[in-house]
Structure 1
Amino acid sequence: MKLICNGLDLSDAVLTVSKALNSKTTNPVLEGIKLSASGDKLVLTATDTELTIEKTIKADVLMEGETVVTGKVFGDFVKKLEGEQVELYKPEGDKLQIRYADSNSDIQVMNAEDYPKISKNVNANYFDMKQSDFKSVVEKTVFACATDDSRPVLKGCLFEIDNDGLTVVALDGFRMSVVKKELILKTGNFKAIVPSRTLMEITRLLNKDDDVLRISVEDNALKVEVSDTVLISRLIKGDFIRYKDIMPKEFITNVRINRQMFVGSIERASVVARSEKLNVVKLEIKDGFMNVLAKSEIGTVNENIPVTVDGKDVTIAFNGRYLLDYLKTTDEEFISMNLNSPIDPCVMMPVLNTDYTYLVIPIRING
């Protein structure tokens, strides 16, 4: 293998695919980036067998071939060559020669035959949406995914495509976020549980909000193509929680509150409350006000916010971070809080947009 390419293009490509590397693997080849040179292109591939990222850059290929370089070593090295034209030459043996300016270096390589074979034939079902819409639904749900391994099915978001469009759901046992979006195109009705890590990596690839993004799904795999980058991910197997059964249908109290005022008050209360394990913020709603109270050994925050209340007075407490996670992912002016009792779930949504619903479990308090 022998080729010449732009150092900046090479460094950027290594940075992109490196997100799929797993530094904790016991298989050395999975710490590597596969380099494949043919035609007028160099293809870089990284995988941990769960997530695969492939990036193609232009190259003057003098001799076709492929090899595998250790990802971190190669990445650190080529980052220092961003202003150079770089020649990569793999003669017989286990070294890759790297030539730049008037210099010559080499690094150890691995056999490309040992690299996992990743199928890119993922086309059975797909849906199209604007890149900006995809980033929005991920931002509004992925924070509610579980992070522990006790229930693997909750470590991703459910993507449910039906006649009404797209519904994305995430929950971790303490809160649940549900977002609905219209689609530009879809092949039919289907479901997929996409790992949260995969979703975050996809959003990092998106930089043209008005462009159309196609998400393809087949069997246990998902594929996304963005410019010269292909991302392939395994989906999470299993049955997702019947989320529609969790959402309350009726409420005793409805509270309408200015979102920015609410965010400011909860942020200040959380400064005091975060010294406690559960970050408890107590809300007392009565007489047209919401009293926001947080106490700890650090101090006390006690604030009143004007609200519009329809229904009974209620006192309820939450983990302040769970409230902020939702409130900071919408820019609506007013938020509706729907309540039944101090121990029943609270359902929040923008007053003028019911396509973004958030359920959060309260913390039981005494008195």
Structure 2
Amino acid sequence: MKIICTRQNLVQGVSTSQRGVSAKSPMPILSGILLSAKGNTLTLEATDLEMGIQCTIPCNVQEEGSIVLPAKYFGEIVRRLPDSPIQIESAEGENAIIHYGQSEIAINGFSADEFPVFSNPQGNTSFTMPEEELKEYLRQVLFATSSDENRPVFTGILLEISNGILRLVATDTHRLALREENLSNDLEDISVIIPGKALNELSRVIGDPDKNITISIGDNQVIFIMEDTKLISRLIEGQFPNYRQVIPQGYKTRIKLKTKEFFESVERASLLARVGTQVVRLAIEEDKVIISANTEVGRIHEEVPCYLSGETMQIAFNALYLIDALRSIGGESIHIDMSGPLSPGILRTVDSANYLSLVLPVRTS
């Protein structure tokens, strides 16, 4: 293999593909990036066998070939190279020489023959949407996934298509986030669970307002296809909980308040609530919400104006869960619906019905 490319393109390719590198695999080759030169492009791939990322960059291919280089060292080297044409060449072995200006670096790697094959899923469900929109949807639900690997279903996001409506749902059993959007009506109904880790990495590489992303779903894999990047992930096996059952259809108490004002007040209360139980209390009155926390560090009492529909009440929430929900919701004003001190709080923006965030209350004495 022998190629010449710009430092800028190489940094982009390495930074993107490096997100797929395995951190703890017993297979040394999975700590590397596969470089494959063909035609007038260089393809960089990395995988941990659960998720893989492939990025293609333009380059001058003088001799086609491939090699696997250790991601950690190769990435650090590339990012520190001068801004000049970079030549990479490797013979029929397991090392490569990086030429830049009058200097060179030799780096040991692995044979490309040992690297796992990057396959595409076979499936009939495929749709395209703007990158910017998908990034926003993921931002609104990813926070509600669980990090407990003993319950893999809760570490993922449910992607559901039903009657032409796309739904993304996440829950860790203490909170839930749901985003829905209309799609084409000719899509088949489908329900799959995509690992939160893969979608978190995807959210870091998408977001261009002028580009689209294609999502193709197979029997046990999903692939996200962008202009110069592909991300493939295994699906999580198991049954996602019936999220519809936990979303109340009515309310006894509804408050409308300014999102930013309420968020900042809860955030201040959380500074004290983090010591101990992480609980903030809400006392909902006719024209205001009283936010309070009382711990060994001190106490806080704030009042935020609101419009009340229904009954006055008192309820308590985990401060950090409430902050996450408020941070993700957006919008100038929100509704919070409740049916009692032991029922979930449902947060929605006033001007949109496409998103909701559910937070379970905390039982207090």
Q: TM-score, normalised by structure 2?
A: 0.95
Q: Which residues of 2 match residues 141-160 of structure 1 at below 5 A?
A: 141-160=141-160
* Mapped partners of 1:351, 1:71: distance in 2: 47
| Moved beyond 3 Å, runs of 4+ | 184-187
Question: Match for 1:25: what amino acid?
Answer: S
Work out the CA distance in 1 between the residues paired with 2:355 and 2:209. 20
Q: Point out where structure 2 has 5 or more consecutive residues left out of the alignment.
A: none
- Tell me what 2:362 maps to: 363
Match of 1:54 in 2: 54
Task: Quote the offset at 1:211 in angstroms.
Answer: 2.8
Partner of 1:245: 245
Deviation, 1:281, is 0.3
The one-letter amino acid of 1:317's match is A
Q: Which residue in 1 is equivalent to 2:233?
A: 233
CA contact (8 A) 2:256 2:306 kept: yes
User: How far is 1:333 from its partner?
Assistant: 2.3
Task: Please name the residue that 1:334 is paired with.
Answer: 333
2:222/2:235 contact within 8 Å kept: yes
Aligned residue pairs: how many? 365
Alpha-carbon shift at residue 121 of structure 1 (Å): 4.4
Asked if the contact 2:211–2:227 (Cα under 8 Å) also holds between the matched residues in 1, the reply is no
What corresponds to 1:85 in structure 2? 85
SS in 2 for 1:332: coil
User: What do the CA deviations read for 1:322-350 (whole angstroms, capped 9, x no partner)?
Assistant: 11111122332221111122112122212
The answer for the alignment partner of 2:98 in structure 1 is 98
Amino-acid identity (%) = 33
Whether the 8 Å CA contact 2:157–2:193 is kept in 1: the answer is yes
Q: TM-score, normalised by structure 1?
A: 0.95
Residues 1-367 of structure 1: pairs in structure 2 closer than 5 A: 1-183=1-183, 187-276=187-276, 278-366=277-365
| SS at 1:11 equivalent | helix
Shift of 1:231: 1.1
Q: Distance in 2 between matches of 1:184 and 1:164?
A: 5
Displacement of 1:93: 3.2
Q: Which amino acid aligns with 1:332?
A: G
The answer for unaligned runs of 5 or more in structure 1 is none
Larger deviation: 160-169 or 135-144? 160-169
Q: Which amino acid aligns with 1:348?
A: L
- Do the aligned partners of 1:126 and 1:186 also contact (CA within 8 Å) in 2? no
- Cα distance, 1:352–1:6 mapped onto 2, change above 3 Å: closer
Bigger shift: residues 301-310 or 179-188: 179-188
Distance in 1, Cα, partners of 2:208 & 2:280: 39
SS at match of 1:303: strand
Query: CA 1:26 to 1:301, structure 2 compared with 1: closer, same or farther past 3 Å?
Result: same
- Taking the aligned partners of 2:272 and 2:4, their CA distance within structure 1 comes to 58
Per-residue Cα deviation, 1:252-280 (whole angstroms, up to 9, x for no partner): 2122222122112101111111122x311
Q: Counterpart of 1:138 in 2: which secondary structure? A: helix
User: CA 1:146 to 1:186, structure 2 compared with 1: closer, same or farther past 3 Å?
Assistant: farther
Aligned partner letter, 2:69? V
Q: Which AA in structure 2 matches 1:149?
A: E
Q: Structure 1 69/26 Cα, relative in aligned 2: closer, same or farther at 3 Å?
A: same
Structure-2 separation of matches of 1:94 and 1:179: 47
8 Å CA contact 2:255–2:336 kept in 1: the answer is yes
